[in-house]
Structure 1
Amino acid sequence: MAPLGDNTNIAEEVMVAEAEKRPVSTIVIIIAMQTEALPLVAKFQLTEDLDSVFPKGVPWVRYHGLYKDLHINIIWPGKDGVLGVDSVGTISASLVTYASIQALQPDLIINAGTAGGFKAKGASIGDVFLACNVAFHDRRIPIPVFDQYGICAKQTFPTPNLLKEVQLKVGKLSTGDSLDMSPHDEAAIIANDATVKDMEGAAVAYVADLLSVPAIFIKAVTDIVDGDKPTAEEFLQNLVAVTAALDQSVTQIVDFISGKSISEL
Structure 2
Amino acid sequence: MAPHGDESDGGGEAAIVIEAEKRPISTIVIVIAMQTEALPLVNKFQLTEDLDSVFPKGVPWVRYHGVYKELNINIIWPGKDFTFGVDSVGTVSASLVTYAAIQTLQPDLIINAGTAGGFKAKGACIGDVFLASSAAFHDRRIPIPVFDLYGVGLRQAFSTPNLLKELSLKAGKLSTGDSLDMSQQDEASIIANDATIKDMEGAAVAYVADLLKVPTIFVKAVTDIVDGDKPTAEEFLQNLASVTAALDKAVTEVVDFINGKCISEL
Tell me the TM-score normalized by structure 1: 0.97
Distance in 1, Cα, partners of 2:27 & 2:53 = 17
Distance in 1, Cα, partners of 2:260 & 2:124 = 32
Show the counterpart of 1:3: none
Which whole-Å deviations, capped at 9, do the CAs of 1:16-62 have from their partners, x for residues lacking one?
Answer: 10001000000000000000000000000000000100000000000
Number of equivalences: 260
Matched, 1:208 2:217: no
Distance in 2, Cα, partners of 1:7 & 1:212 = 12
SS at match of 2:83: coil
Deviation at 1:79, TM superposition (A): 0.2
Distance in 2, Cα, partners of 1:35 & 1:233 = 17
Distance in 2, Cα, partners of 1:226 & 1:28 = 32
SS at match of 1:253: helix
Matched, 1:182 2:164: no
Deviation at 1:8, TM superposition (A): 5.3
Distance in 2, Cα, partners of 1:154 & 1:100 = 20
Show the counterpart of 1:17: 18
Distance in 1, Cα, partners of 2:9 & 2:80 = 43
Residues 135-150 of structure 1 mapped to structure 2, 5 A cutoff:
135-150=136-151
Deviation at 1:156, TM superposition (A): 1.0
Please identify, of 152-161 and 94-103, the stretch whose mean Cα deviation from structure 2 is larger: 152-161
Deviation at 1:169, TM superposition (A): 0.3
Distance in 2, Cα, partners of 1:7 & 1:26 = 25
Q: Alignment RMSD, CA only?
A: 1.0
Deviation at 1:127, TM superposition (A): 0.2
Distance in 2, Cα, partners of 1:257 & 1:201 = 20
Show the counterpart of 2:98: 97
Question: Share of identical aligned residues, percent?
Answer: 80
Task: Describe the shift of the 1:65–1:147 C-alpha distance in structure 2 as closer, same or farther (beyond 3 A).
Answer: same
Tell me the TM-score normalized by structure 2: 0.97
Distance in 2, Cα, partners of 1:141 & 1:211 = 25
Which whole-Å deviations, capped at 9, do the CAs of 1:128-164 have from their partners, x for residues lacking one?
Answer: 0000011000000000000000000112110011111
One-letter code of the match for 1:122? G
SS at match of 2:198: strand
Residues 53-132 of structure 1 mapped to structure 2, 5 A cutoff:
53-132=54-133
Determine which structure has more spread, i.e. the larger CA radius of gyration: 1
One-letter code of the match for 2:50? D
Matched, 1:48 2:12: no
Deviation at 1:7, TM superposition (A): 9.8
Distance in 1, Cα, partners of 2:93 & 2:193 = 23
Distance in 1, Cα, partners of 2:129 & 2:82 = 31
Which whole-Å deviations, capped at 9, do the CAs of 1:206-248 have from their partners, x for residues lacking one?
Answer: 0000000000000000000000000000000000000000000
One-letter code of the match for 2:172? G
One-letter code of the match for 2:102? I
Structure 1: state its 5+ residue gaps: 1-5
Show structure 1 runs of 4+ deviating over 3 A: none
One-letter code of the match for 1:79? K
Structure 2: state its 5+ residue gaps: 1-6
